[in-house]
Amino acid sequence: MQPIQSAIIHYNEQGTPVSDLFDDVYFSNESGLEETQYVFLQQNGLPQRFFNHQRRYFHIIETGFGTGLNFLLAWQNFRVAQKEAPSVCCERLYFSTFEKYPLKKQDLAKALESWPLLAELAALLVSQYPEPVAGCHRLQFDEGRVTLDLWLGDVHDSMPQLSAQNSADAWFLDGFAPSKNPQMWQPELFSQMARLSQTGTTVATFTSAGLVRRSLADVGFAVKKVKGYGRKREMCIGIFQPDIPSPPQLPEQPEQAAESSASTQTAAQPDLITIVGGGLAAISLALTLHQHGRQVRLLCMDDAVAQQASHNRQGALYPQLQASWSPVSMLHALAFGFAARFYQNLKQQFDFPADFCGVLTLACNQTLTLRQQKMAAEPAYQGCLFQQFDADQASAVAGLSLPFAGLYYPAGGWIAPQAFCQAALKYLQQQSGFEVIFGCKVNRLEWQANSATWQLDAEDVHRHQPQLLYTKNLVLACGSQIHSFAQTQFLPLNLVRGQVSHVRSQAMARLKTVICHQGYLTPALDGLHCVGATFDRSRQQALLLESDNQANLALVQQVLQQPAWFNDAKVESAKAGLRTTVPDHLPVAGFIAPGLHLFGGLGARGLLFAPLLAQQLAAQLCNEPLPLSEKLSVLIHPARFLTKQKASL
């Protein structure tokens, strides 16, 4: 695929950013803020439509992100609406937008300096602005109440990848003028708009070009021209009414359009969602569902969270990219970006040990050297995600002498998984609508068709007393136990035992970044470094083995060529666990039966995958916009194994 190319811009005499490629301004020379408010918000009936909306959320889709001005103004209007009338304002705002040529971060920040009124929101946007990697980058603000899905790439490639579940309430049909950017204003764009609209969806656009009006009408929008902003004579608005054979009389005022397209029906109270598990997957999903206003019940077979594979003191956060750009690489890259933002945002709500100190992956053999050289030459990776370092540069960033070159991921680092889960649980227990039951082992699932409910045959592991629990929505996020039910036997799960050693070393205290070789080393947490990890497919029990501690130490000495800074390393403790993987080494997330979802197979990548896939599952459970493209949704769906089984028969 073509790599993402950043926009090249200059500023005209009025100080307005101008695209070199399209020779067009990003916003009005005179009053871009007021123009956006009039053209895109007012003419779509906003902010009035945020009130008494038929869905718990409002979804805007935009066709050209540019400087983000339209998003920031929509966000500001939504904030005001929630503050003025929280009881009748919808709970969340989704803003999906497309950009083929994204601004560089420094250009974005400079362009938004024009609007002091939006300075606070602009700073938050710039702080989370993603690297130029193709795909959907989900950015969240205001504790998850505002979500920006920024799709980087050609709109004609990206928009077909949106699920029909991502239908719009309003369209901001923006982008450079049809005469300047004819490649965007193609029939395929309008067909996709129809696919992603519902009766009552509105559209507003700055242009009144006949091509645009006819194209909208051809796919089911009733369109009319209205007065443009300022000196612009006309613009277009419309409403999606595909089942009406003749164009209806559109309301004269956008407020009336809002009333005609919004229902005053109150959304039904959400059903309880039950999660079986207590590790990173389960906790990440519980946090995400809480953000969505859902009631959550967590069933954990242990007496505390993160007692199984998620119990490590520290874990590295970085993507495992393939040598060439691929759907798997895209999944890793997007998950990496979202995970970093997820943990950084949560640290503002509750505290847990983490350090975004970067991750250095060393080219410690010929195979890795060739692979990293190929990655560095891959166009899709140019200028983003990682930097290529020689041995001296690698040593400088690590703070220790290293014998190899490598790739450095500056946005990576380490998280304390167990401490994160414990802090997240404490936070959730202080919120309404959350319940956790410890010592609860689920042994059997049974679908009750008459009530469309799952019956969980469980037991109290201490009292050995049976328990019957019921739920309409069930997520199995229980690691190595996910294969324990009749409904999940089709999953080809593998259990891989791993042990991490906790090492004290004065010389290694200088380590400033995570080092990955054939194992990994972390900077110290409370004086101890994590050194790991073994991979053992022959044992199915998480027993601590002294031989594994010695193997971890020996691996560092062997691979890193007897580094002097490791000579005083002493193992003080260790942890062992069972990682759950599947043959294609991709996670498993999706539904397998009515009301039954799976979330597992994360292997050693729980910190990386859990946050984004929790978003995906929460969106499926709540019928809200999905963060993953159709292609990536299929890639991780558990049904891929059912398809393979049928194909082999």
HSE-CB for 397 with a 13 A CA cutoff: 24
Q: Which residue has the tokens 């359009």?
A: 257
* CA dist., res. 579 & res. 494, Å (int): 8
User: Does the structure show a pLDDT above 60 at 108?
Assistant: yes
* CB neighbour class for 540 (10 Å; exposed up to 12, middle 13-18, buried from 19): exposed
Counting residues of the chain whose pLDDT is more than 70, the rounded percentage is 95
User: Does the structure show a pLDDT above 50 at 258?
Assistant: no
pTM of the predicted structure, to 2 decimals: 0.93
What share of residues in the chain are helix, strand, coil (percent, to 5)? 35, 25, 40
- The string of pLDDT tens digits covering residues 416-470 is 999 999 999 999 999 999 999 999 999 999 999 999 999 999 999 999 899 999 9
- The string of pLDDT tens digits covering residues 514-534 is 999 999 999 999 999 999 999
* CA dist., res. 85 & res. 77, Å (int): 12
- Quick one: pLDDT at residue 607? 98
Counting residues of the chain whose pLDDT is more than 90, the rounded percentage is 85
Fold classification of 359-410+494-581 is: D-Amino Acid Oxidase; Chain A, domain 2 (3.30.9)
Residue range(s) of every CATH 3.30.9.10 domain in the chain: 359-410+494-581
User: Does the structure show a pLDDT above 80 at 264?
Assistant: no
Cβ–Cβ contacts within 10 Å for residue 444, how many? 12
Q: Report the phi/psi class of residue 306: left, alpha or beta, with left for phi > 0 and alpha for psi in -120 to 50.
A: left
Cα of 450 vs its chain's centroid, Å: 36
Nearest CA-CA partner of 92 in 43, 137, 46, 141: 141
- Angle of helix 69-84 relative to helix 119-128, nearest 10 degrees, comes to 120
* CA dist., res. 196 & res. 231, Å (int): 32
Nearest CA-CA partner of 45 in 58, 28, 26, 63: 58
DSSP lists the bridge partners of residue 96 as 61, 149
pLDDT average, residue stretch 632-636: 97
Q: What angle do CA 427, 477, 320 make, to 5 degrees?
A: 95
Residue 486 pLDDT class (50, 70, 90 cuts): very high
* CA dist., res. 385 & res. 409, Å (int): 6
- The string of pLDDT tens digits covering residues 64-101 is 999 999 999 999 999 999 999 999 999 999 999 999 99
Structure-block tokens of residue 171: 């369209």
DSSP string, 322-364: -SS--HHHHHHHHHHHHHHHHHHHHTTTS---EE---EEEE--
- Quick one: pLDDT at residue 344? 97
Please name the helix (run of DSSP H) or strand (run of DSSP E) that holds residue 458, with its range, or none: strand 453-460
pLDDT average, residue stretch 408-422: 98
Q: What angle do CA 153, 154, 160 make, to 5 degrees?
A: 100
Q: Where does 196-253 have alpha helices with state H?
A: 210-218
Residue range(s) of every CATH 3.50.50.60 domain in the chain: 273-308+418-491+584-648
- Quick one: pLDDT at residue 324? 96
Residue range(s) of every CATH 3.40.50.150 domain in the chain: 9-261
- The string of pLDDT tens digits covering residues 46-63 is 999 999 999 999 999 999
* CA dist., res. 548 & res. 571, Å (int): 11
Residue 116 pLDDT class (50, 70, 90 cuts): very high
- Quick one: pLDDT at residue 195? 97
* Region of poorest pLDDT, from 180-184, 483-487, 513-517: 180-184
Contact 312, 417 (CB under 8 A): yes
Q: Report the phi/psi class of residue 590: left, alpha or beta, with left for phi > 0 and alpha for psi in -120 to 50.
A: left
Q: Please give the C-alpha separations between residue 209 and each of 187, 213, 241, 375, 512, in angstroms, as whole numbers.
A: 14, 6, 21, 45, 57
- Quick one: pLDDT at residue 65? 96
End-to-end CA distance of the chain: 35
Contact 412, 453 (CB under 8 A): no
Tell me which DSSP letter residue 39 carries. Answer: I
pLDDT average, residue stretch 609-625: 98
HSE-CB for 121 with a 13 A CA cutoff: 25
User: Does the structure show a pLDDT above 50 at 238?
Assistant: yes
User: Does the structure show a pLDDT above 80 at 245?
Assistant: no
Residue 633 pLDDT class (50, 70, 90 cuts): very high
Residue 33 pLDDT class (50, 70, 90 cuts): very high
- Quick one: pLDDT at residue 646? 54
Q: Which residue has the higher pLDDT, 535 or 513?
A: 513
Strands 520-521 and 24-25: unpaired
Structure-block tokens of residue 481: 């136990």
Cα of 93 vs its chain's centroid, Å: 16
CATH class of 273-308+418-491+584-648: alpha beta
* CA dist., res. 575 & res. 308, Å (int): 10
- Three-class DSSP category at 447: strand
Residue 392 pLDDT class (50, 70, 90 cuts): very high
Contact 599, 589 (CB under 8 A): yes
Q: In what order do the strands lie in the sheet with 453-460?
A: 440-448, 453-460, 465-471
Mean pLDDT of the chain: 92
Kindly report the CATH number that applies to the domain delimited by 9-261. Answer: 3.40.50.150
